[in-house]
Amino acid sequence: MIGVAVVGYGYWGPNLVRNFSEAAGAELLAVCDVNKDRLAAVQGRYPGVSITDDYESILRDPRINAVAIATPVTTHFRLAMSALMAGKHVFVEKPIAASSEEAQKMVDEAARRRLVLAVDHTFVHTGAVRKMRELVDGGLGEIYYYDSVRVNLGLFQHDVSVVWDLAVHDLSIMDYVLPSRPVAVSATGMSHIAGEPENIAYLNLLFDSNLIAHVHVNWLAPVKVRRTLIGGSRKMIVYDDLEPSEKIKIYDKGITLNGGSQANGEAVRQALVGYRSGDMWAPHLDMSEALGTELKEFIRCVEHAETPLADGHAGLRVVRILEAATLSLAQRGRVVELEPVRRVA
C-alpha cells in the first residue's frame, strides 16, 4: 500500500483524486491546491483525505510515497523536481514539462534516485490505442503513414499554442504505437488573434524510413473530429475516437506489388500495382477507464520498481517534438532536426 498525494484540483485533478481513492494498492492521503474553494470541495466529497495549500507539508510527510501533479505546465518542473528530491515517486500531467531542458533534468533526477517518473499519456492506456499498438506490432505490415485530425471549436489558450494543447495527445499516442521515432519535424500554422499563439497548425514528422506522420490540430473548427488513419502494407486502420464503441476499424485493403522489372514499358509498370479490398473488422475493445488502468500501472511500478509505459523518457521525447514544432512554426515550416534522447548511463 503506497501513500499518495494529489497536487492541483482544477480541471484534471478531480479525476486523479477519484481514481486514486478507488485504486487498490494506494491510499489517497492528501490533496494540495492554492485555492480554498477547491480544497473545500475535496473535503466535502472525500472527508477522510487531508487538504492543504502548503506543498512543503506534502513533501515532508513520510507516509506519502508518491505525488501526482495536475497543475499548469509551467509549474511541473519545480513541483516534480522538489518531490523527486524529497524522495517521492512522481506522476505528472502531460506535457511533462515546459521545455526539454526541464524534462531532461527530471528524467536524470528520477534515474539517479531510482524513483518512478511517469507522465500522464492517458490515451496509451485506452483499449483503442493498445489495440492499435498490437496491430502495428503484427498484422498491418510495414507502416507507411500515420495521419491524425484533432479539431473542434476549442478553448483558446493564451500561454501555449494549439500544438501544446492538442497535438500533445497525438504525439504521445505515436510515441507508443509507431515502430520508430521521428528524426525531424516541420510545422506550419496561424494565429487568428493578434498577439496570441497559433490556433491552427499542421505538423509533419519525418522518419529515417518511408514512414510519414502528420497531425492537424485546430481550435477553430465547426465540427469535432478525432480521426487517425494508419496505413500499412498489409492492412489499414481508421481510429475514430468519437465512435461510442467501434473506435477501431481494420481494413483488409491495400495494394500488392507484383515482381518484375519497372523498366519494360508502361504495360509492365501498370501491372506492378494491384489493388486489394477485403473484409473490414472492428474488434471489441476494453472500454474500462484509461486513467484507472494507468494509475494501477503506476502503483505497480512504484511497488516493484518497474518502468511505466509512459515514463519520463516518453514525456521528454514528446516535449522535444513540441519544442521543435514551435521553432518550425516561427520559421514558416523550416525542418527542425530532433536530437536523439540521451539515456543516463
* 231 contacts its own copies (rule: CB under 8 A): yes
Please enumerate in sequence order all residues whose Cβ is within 8 A of that of 315, keeping only pairs 6 or more positions apart, or say none: 92, 94, 95, 96, 97, 103, 106, 107, 117, 119, 121
Query: Among the candidate windows 88-96, 170-178, 282-290, 299-307, which touches its own copies by CB under 8 A?
Result: 282-290
* 126 contacts its own copies (rule: CB under 8 A): no
Instruction: Give burial (CB, 10 Å; 0-12/13-18/19+) of 310.
Output: buried
Query: Among the candidate windows 79-87, 165-173, 278-286, 306-314, which touches its own copies by CB under 8 A?
Result: 278-286
Residue (114 or 270) nearer to its own copies, CB: 270
Q: How far is the CB of 125 from its own copies (least distance, A)?
A: 20
Q: How far is the CB of 258 from its own copies (least distance, A)?
A: 11
Query: Which secondary-structure segment (H or E) carries 14?
Result: helix 13-22
* 327 contacts its own copies (rule: CB under 8 A): no
List 81, 183, 280, 327, residue binding its own copies (CB under 8 A): 280
Residue (316 or 338) nearer to its own copies, CB: 338
Q: How far is the CB of 172 from its own copies (least distance, A)?
A: 21
- Take residue 57 and report the three cell numbers written for it: 507539508
Query: Among the candidate windows 62-70, 113-121, 147-155, 318-326, which touches its own copies by CB under 8 A?
Result: 147-155
Residue 190 CA to residue 178 CA, distance in Å, equals 28
* 147 contacts its own copies (rule: CB under 8 A): yes
Q: How far is the CB of 265 from its own copies (least distance, A)?
A: 11
* 144 contacts its own copies (rule: CB under 8 A): yes
* 251 contacts its own copies (rule: CB under 8 A): yes
- Take residue 302 and report the three cell numbers written for it: 512504484
Instruction: Give helix 100-113 / helix 76-85 axis angle, nearest 10°.
Output: 10
Restricting to residues 15-74, name those near its own copies by CB under 8 A: 44-45, 47
Residue 54 CA to residue 325 CA, distance in Å, equals 36
User: Which residue has cell 523498366?
Assistant: 263
Query: Cα–chain-centroid distance for residue 309?
Result: 11
Bridge partners, 256 (sequence order): 274
- Take residue 293 and report the three cell numbers written for it: 488502468
